Structure 1
């Protein structure tokens, strides 16, 4: 009779890694020009494939389309590296590929469908993080025009400046230079623009005037650790001193944005940012990799303003590779750490060729 240990299934070595992605394409007439802002360029997919192949694996490019399920069934890779944002504009779109992979029992990198869906929904993210005592800014939700009837009370009660954002978008979609709301009329204008342009609810969030920091986290559970962090600011500050990391800024980041490594951040603030980023990672039960965006309020408290469980991985312009390089790392090592984290989670052997 076989003993229990010898009868356990031993994971086979990974030889072929598929890359799940959505390719950025021109928008159609009548669509918002940022409709595909979250999608990846061919150069990003090629760079990722090159790095994965440098570890001795073969790669299979798997663009998300109607043929993908049959492609996965017929050419079944041993593992999938997931950077797919999903098709459509609904809030569950980032869960599409992980759900497919789980149904096919193919292991993959990154967070599971539930964590991805919650993290894309800014309102639910705020609720969960607040419940888990992770500091977040005040937020309120506008589901329809009826909710705009009492906006005057927001300014009377709190005397705040707000920022309007679509409820479930990433890559600064829907966040423009004029998204800051300093009075009820500006708030109404921005909320109505979101309703019309993105066909989804809007959130209004207290605008935090302090420094912006983004931090990378890699790993799982108690092994999750900080990859690095950077400070984000304008190269040429505006006359009013108000900085918003908007869509326009991201598109013209070389001219507009200054990225500075950890040395530009006060040591106490660095420690606080690392702790908050890890707490947010754990609260949302994220896996393998994520980028956590934070800003400082007027009292010096850092608060989480966005969660990125599918952070951009372009070696040329994405925030995560940039912050990692400013912290002394390189793109090759970044991809290695993400892969190794996911392999460890599944108990897969790492056999670098």
Structure 2
């Protein structure tokens, strides 16, 4: 059982359990330990090296000289962590810098630091055994800080080297700094402990694996006030110069050279473990340029949209109006700028099935922008991707199951809670419930449990008394039906923010977080971004609300992103999604809604996030199309000559 312990704003630390003495460290080692260990605790335990700017600066001085990096060169740092080497390198010249790491926590931290420093570095979360980059992309690839040898088998390490060879340009160079396996096999410390700051200490145990090829380590990290935080096991393969030279040579690298050993001058200078003594290897990718791909054929994309000839109850007058047609026109203008695609449009739902059958064999991708739902019925939004799947047509956006989940606010709350994502306090009222028997903390907001586009959510839904809540529930029932459930949620008073993601796991972009600015809203109106802000032009909400870049502490921003990515994966979202959050009075984030296939219009939240991030409307649309195209046709699949 783990107990949550409050810390400073935007951070949490959990007290945990320890197993006590164990006889065999290897027995407790998880085969994919590397998925779990590289987090905030890692930055504490290894801070004497990985957070020391002087050490990083010294290492980059050496690596920069060994590689002779020139202006305009491209470099990929594998297992880049929080990006310390790339951030330092960015100060040395005008380079094209890329970083990839398996740890979501560390890559998000790297992105945040780079953005705050105003540095252009492309950080990605991904698996080094299957790199999301095209052949012949980089002048240099580095694997630094002993970030090699984590897997159970050496064959996985060979996969990394093969991928490095593939993405290097002909004549491109690899640089690795790796723990000296010969030294560690004879000189590792079986047991140690050290203070890592005034409140934390770590105890370590180490032993050789049964095959004598890996060093198994155990770390028990303890907070002096809260007890054990984590009891974790990890392992690293002990590579000698001879073995690593043999592996790189078999992959195809030439001109292998070793450049002495790297010893770290840590200020703490207690237990350096695997970082204590590392050797440096450089090698060259002697190969021919990969055969060029045949010129891309222009892809035929069918854009599916709502039906302007049908009633749409979500719109103010239940019909497509001038603003809707202007929005569609701006979409078409934006898409017309994409030279790799040819677009056609379908919006007649009465003939949709027949129309799709006619063009099925000529369609490369369907751009599913029918967020109105089949027949402009929001409950039937999932029918569109279901139809496309039955017709075996590839399409953008989330699948029917994901759309069904996210239409049900209460269900999403349950899923979020299950995976540790915080939600606002709330309860569901059904037709049988007697409101006056319920213990309700005020203020609250009543919402239709099923719904989209803030339909049914206005300033009148915010209640400060039992009478106001009863009125709000009555209005919702009259609008949506007495048999429909209603979600009553605590009304949070902190910042209202949204996190946008374009892409898919291992190849995604988190857009800048935006916040709703209520500073110009007239006094006395509740601060909500509901139906009035999105649809009613004469409303003070639409006239005064603005979406601005959120100004959040780094730790809070990372927490929001991490939670959003957990939901993205758990709900199996595809290509793009928006997550709406609100902070409580203690600035703790609470998830409000998940919006798969969020609004695509030129002035919507996703477009605003994209614009803040330097991506115009056309580029945003292209990014969604590319995300779907890459999902169906991964960019690192074998290339045909």
Q: Residue 568 of structure 2 aligns with which residue?
A: 281
Gaps of 5+ in 2: 1-295, 637-641
- Given that 2:449 and 2:487 are in contact with CA atoms closer than 8 Å, whether structure 1 keeps it comes out as yes
- Given that 2:497 and 2:582 are in contact with CA atoms closer than 8 Å, whether structure 1 keeps it comes out as yes
Question: CA 1:184/1:25 → structure 2, altered by over 3 Å: closer, same or farther?
Answer: farther
Compare 181-190 and 333-342 and name the one that shifted more. Answer: 181-190
Tell me the SS of whatever aligns to 2:609: helix
- Given that 1:213 and 1:293 are in contact with CA atoms closer than 8 Å, whether structure 2 keeps it comes out as yes
Gaps of 5+ in 1: 1-11
Counting only pairs closer than 5 Å after superposition, residues 174-185 of structure 1 correspond to structure 2 as 174-185=456-467
Q: Residue 292 of structure 1 aligns with which residue?
A: 579
Q: Residue 620 of structure 2 aligns with which residue?
A: 334
- Match among 531, 538, 550 for residue 247 of structure 1: 531
- 2: CA distance, partners of 1:123 / 1:215: 20
> Does residue 228 of structure 1 match 2:512?
yes
- Match among 541, 545, 555 for residue 257 of structure 1: 545
Q: Residue 160 of structure 1 aligns with which residue?
A: 442
Q: Residue 8 of structure 1 aligns with which residue?
A: none
Q: Deviations over 1:104-163 (max 9, x none)?
A: 00000000000011111111111111111111112222231x21x1444222xxx33211
Aligned length: 330
- Given that 1:233 and 1:243 are in contact with CA atoms closer than 8 Å, whether structure 2 keeps it comes out as no
- 2: CA distance, partners of 1:109 / 1:287: 7
Q: Residue 407 of structure 2 aligns with which residue?
A: 120
Question: CA 1:67/1:233 → structure 2, altered by over 3 Å: closer, same or farther?
Answer: same
Q: Residue 9 of structure 1 aligns with which residue?
A: none
- 2: CA distance, partners of 1:324 / 1:215: 11
Q: Residue 43 of structure 1 aligns with which residue?
A: 326
- Given that 2:512 and 2:613 are in contact with CA atoms closer than 8 Å, whether structure 1 keeps it comes out as yes
Q: Residue 495 of structure 2 aligns with which residue?
A: 211
The structure whose RCO (Cα within 8 Å, separation 6+) is larger is: 1
The structure carrying a bigger strand percent of its residues is: 2
- Given that 1:294 and 1:306 are in contact with CA atoms closer than 8 Å, whether structure 2 keeps it comes out as yes
Offset, 1:275 = 1.9
Offset, 1:290 = 0.6
- 1: CA distance, partners of 2:504 / 2:576: 8
- 2: CA distance, partners of 1:234 / 1:24: 33
Offset, 1:26 = 8.5
- 1: CA distance, partners of 2:314 / 2:342: 37
Greater C-alpha radius of gyration: 2
Tell me the SS of whatever aligns to 1:265: coil
Cα RMSD (Å) of the superposition? 2.8
- 2: CA distance, partners of 1:143 / 1:197: 15
- 2: CA distance, partners of 1:165 / 1:50: 36
How high is the TM-score relative to the length of structure 1?
Answer: 0.84
Tell me the SS of whatever aligns to 1:17: strand
- Given that 1:218 and 1:225 are in contact with CA atoms closer than 8 Å, whether structure 2 keeps it comes out as yes
Offset, 1:269 = 2.9
- Given that 1:37 and 1:173 are in contact with CA atoms closer than 8 Å, whether structure 2 keeps it comes out as no
Tell me the SS of whatever aligns to 2:366: strand
Counting only pairs closer than 5 Å after superposition, residues 34-183 of structure 1 correspond to structure 2 as 34=316, 41-56=324-339, 57-76=341-360, 77-85=363-371, 86-87=373-374, 92-144=379-431, 146-147=432-433, 149-155=434-440, 159-183=441-465
